[in-house]
Amino acid sequence: MAEVLVVTSGKGGVGKTTSTAALGAALAQTGQSVVVIDFDVGLRNLDLVMGAERRVVYDLINVVQGDANLNQALIKDKRVESLSLLPASQTRDKDALTAEGVERVINELKGKFDWIICDSPAGIERGAYFAMRHADLAVIVTNPEVSSVRDSDRIIGLLDSKTEKAERGETMEKLLLLTRYDPVRAERGDMLKVDDVLEILSIPLLGIIPESPEVLKASNLGSPVTLANPISAPSRAYLDAARRLRGETIEMTVPSEKKRFFGNLFGRRAA
């Protein structure tokens, strides 16, 4: 049975799209079939992070409106066979998505994939609502910073009231993905610690993704970070998180880059 997962946060720029691509690729790397859907209508960028921007012909809105079928719109990843992308369109018409259309697309995808990962736009408007509407499970992407934690708390409230699962009287499973974490600054007391955020939001932890230049390098190359550099610190954190999603118990750590002195001196290379 397909698992519908929404990657959401309320606040923009915290790492939802990065995390959608990385978790999607990581799950696909373990052999699961995965589709990542961009719900950020008008500001699509999951296609760029995935390196598929030049292969977009049809998009989510075309499928929702019946102008294309799913097979025409889905873009198969060139690196991992079991990974696909359903891109957002660049239309400025925010009403282009409809509740019935989105529901039909999600139901159709359920027959084709193990995981359906919905990349939510920022905010608490229509797009964010459609992205979470059919979810079985929510990954709340949060930075250790006051406004991000506050927005995550709002989103948790919406997940508990505005989703199909909530309306059926069931509890939505919500997992915290703490991203852009800097253990050194947290230790110095200049950044909220993991335990602070966990205590305030009181949802279980899926993973801690360290702040790392590897993320920007990967997006420059148009590749999920777990594919661009699987042994980098953020990749190891995402790969662990993906295994936790599959039910494995893995010790929680904040992976860090190994200091390779000679590697850094002589092996310097631009991305």
Ligand X SMILES: Nc1ncnc2c1ncn2[C@@H]1O[C@H](COP(=O)(O)OP(=O)(O)O)[C@@H](O)[C@H]1O
Contacting residues toward Mg ion, per CB under 5 A: 16-17
Q: Which does 182 bind (CB under 5 to 8 A by kind): Mg ion, ligand X, another protein, none?
A: none
Instruction: Give min distance, CB of 184 to Mg ion, in A.
Output: 27
| CB-count burial class (<10 Å; 0-12, 13-18, 19+) for 86 | buried
How many CA atoms lie less than 13 Å away from 160 in the CB half-sphere?
10
Q: State yes or no: residue 253 binds another protein (CB under 8 A).
A: no
Q: Which does 209 bind (CB under 5 to 8 A by kind): ligand X, Mg ion, another protein, none?
A: ligand X
Q: How far apart are the first and last CA of the chain?
A: 40
Q: Which does 240 bind (CB under 5 to 8 A by kind): Mg ion, ligand X, another protein, none?
A: none
- Residue whose CB is less far from ligand X, 97 or 140: 140
Q: Which long-range contacts (CB under 8 A, 24 or more apart) does 123-127 make?
A: 123/10, 123/12, 124/10, 124/154, 124/155, 124/158, 125/94, 126/94, 126/95, 126/97, 127/39, 127/40, 127/41, 127/94, 127/97
Q: Which does 216 bind (CB under 5 to 8 A by kind): ligand X, Mg ion, another protein, none?
A: ligand X
Indicate the SS3 state at residue 120.
coil
Of 53, 103, 136, 153, the one binding another protein (CB under 8 A) is 153
Chain position carrying tokens 């999600």: 106
- Residue whose CB is less far from another protein, 68 or 194: 194
Binding range to another protein, per CB under 8 A, among 28-36, 90-98, 112-120, 192-200: 192-200
Q: State yes or no: residue 154 binds another protein (CB under 8 A).
A: yes
d(CA 41, CA 43): 6
Backbone angles phi, psi at 34, to 5 degrees: -135, 135
d(CA 253, CA 240): 9
Q: State yes or no: residue 227 binds another protein (CB under 8 A).
A: no
Of 200, 221, 252, 254, the one binding another protein (CB under 8 A) is 200
Q: Where are the beta strands (DSSP E) in 127-228?
A: 137-142, 173-181, 205-210
Residues that bind ligand X (CB under 6 A): 9, 12-18, 122, 179-180, 209, 211-212, 215-216, 219, 234
Residues that bind another protein (CB under 8 A): 145-146, 149-150, 153-154, 156-157, 160-161, 166, 171, 186, 188-193, 196, 200
